[in-house]
């Protein structure tokens, strides 16, 4: 059986699949050549992340496909329903990268709260000539402890983010489409654990109460956060989007920063990937990263092993 990991796979995943008798190819094939490559090389399993798209045209052109795998959570780059109609298994790894994304959210939060995104730009340029000026400019940082984090979307990643927030001494409030009570267990290095119960609230309530807002919703047709939602927020709010491009109205965010409603924001995902709007890239109130939420060695190892396990299980049925 031949597997094409078109957007890459960890060595741990390759080893597990190879040991089970699969041949794994990690050639990165251009989207336009994908169907031809699959057919020419008798590929039965194609694995992707967010870059490669497996839509109806590829599925129809590739009768050898048995499994389409997504290394990550969202599957908006795969025509899942159509693939299943054609008898193709579609798998993903919803839990493997949750903690990595949550840590990136807090990397941005800590950086924004102390203006590190600006200081890291300015110190190499002015650190030797304007040290006191920079010190004064960035001397009004804020602490996260005691503040309220509002989480929009309380699935695996939202809950992982909440755990870090609770560990940092923050108050956590959350909105989820299906209202529910969630028990979160914080496990510590020495075996101790603490349990918290989070009762989800209405979206409006979360937006009004939160000092910081982190988005963890799947791709959708309409904005989850647009101008009307931003208007409900506290003045000086900080917003983080490490979910999906298109769930946050970037123009509304840009305008809200300019008029002072939003103090600062962080974006790991963008509406126009891989070419974000220049006004975002140049905005000094934004902390930016290039869609790297799941891009840690640990997460990629978990993703590779989880994909390998699912593929082996399917072919052993």
Tell me which of 70, 156, 291, 302 is the catalytic residue.
291
**Judging by DSSP bridges, how do beta strands 212-215 and 193-199 pair with one another?**
unpaired
Tell me which of 244, 254, 264, 302 is the catalytic residue.
244
CB-CB contact of 262 with 229 (8 Å): no
Cβ neighbours of residue 93 closer than 8 Å, sequence gap 6 or more: 70, 71, 72, 73, 302, 303, 306, 307
**Inter-CA distances, 206 with 14, 66, 218, Å:** 43, 43, 18
231 is catalytic: no
Diameter of the chain measured on Cα atoms? 68
298 is catalytic: no
**Inter-CA distances, 228 with 223, 232, 256, Å:** 10, 7, 11
CB-CB contact of 214 with 188 (8 Å): no
**CA–CA separation, 200 vs 90, rounded Å?**
31
| The length of the chain, given as a count of residues | 317
244 is catalytic: yes
Tell me which of 103, 271, 273, 277 is the catalytic residue.
273
Name the packing angle between helices 98-113 and 297-315 (round to 10°). Answer: 160
**CA–CA separation, 314 vs 304, rounded Å?**
16
Q: Which residue numbers are catalytic?
A: 244, 273, 291
């Amino acid at each position: 059986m031949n597997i094409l990991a078109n957007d890459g796979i960890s060595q741990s995943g390759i080893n597990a699949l190879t040991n089970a008798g699969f041949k794994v190819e990690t050639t990165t094939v251009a989207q336009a050549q994908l169907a031809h490559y699959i057919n020419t090389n008798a590929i039965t399993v194609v694995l992707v992340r967010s870059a490669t798209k497996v839509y109806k045209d590829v599925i129809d052109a590739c009768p050898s496909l048995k499994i389409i795998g997504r290394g990550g959570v969202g599957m908006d780059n795969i025509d899942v329903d159509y693939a299943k109609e054609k008898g193709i298994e579609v798998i993903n790894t919803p839990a493997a990268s949750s903690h990595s994304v949550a840590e990136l959210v807090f990397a941005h939060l800590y950086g924004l709260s102390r203006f590190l995104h600006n200081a890291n730009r300015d110190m190499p340029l002015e650190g030797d000539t304007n040290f006191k000026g920079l010190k004064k400019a960035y001397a009004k940082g804020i602490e996260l402890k005691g503040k309220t984090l509002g989480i929009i979307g309380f699935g695996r990643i939202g809950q992982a983010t909440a755990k870090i927030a609770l560990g940092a001494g923050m108050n956590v409030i959350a909105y989820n489409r299906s209202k529910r009570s969630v028990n979160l267990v914080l496990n510590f290095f020495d075996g101790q654990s603490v349990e918290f119960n989070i009762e989800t609230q209405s979206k409006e309530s979360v937006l009004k109460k939160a000092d910081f807002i982190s988005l963890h919703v799947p791709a959708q047709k309409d904005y989850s956060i647009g101008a009307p939602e931003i208007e409900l927020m506290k003045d000086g709010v900080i917003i983080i989007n490490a979910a999906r491009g298109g769930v946050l109205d970037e123009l509304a965010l840009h305008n809200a920063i300019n008029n002072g409603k939003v103090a600062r924001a962080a974006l790991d995902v963008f509406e126009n990937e891989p070419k974000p709007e220049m006004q975002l890239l140049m905005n000094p109130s934004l902390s930016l990263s290039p869609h790297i939420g799941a891009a840690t060695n640990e997460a990629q190892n978990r993703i590779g092993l989880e994909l390998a396990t699912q593929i082996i299980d399917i072919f052993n049925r």
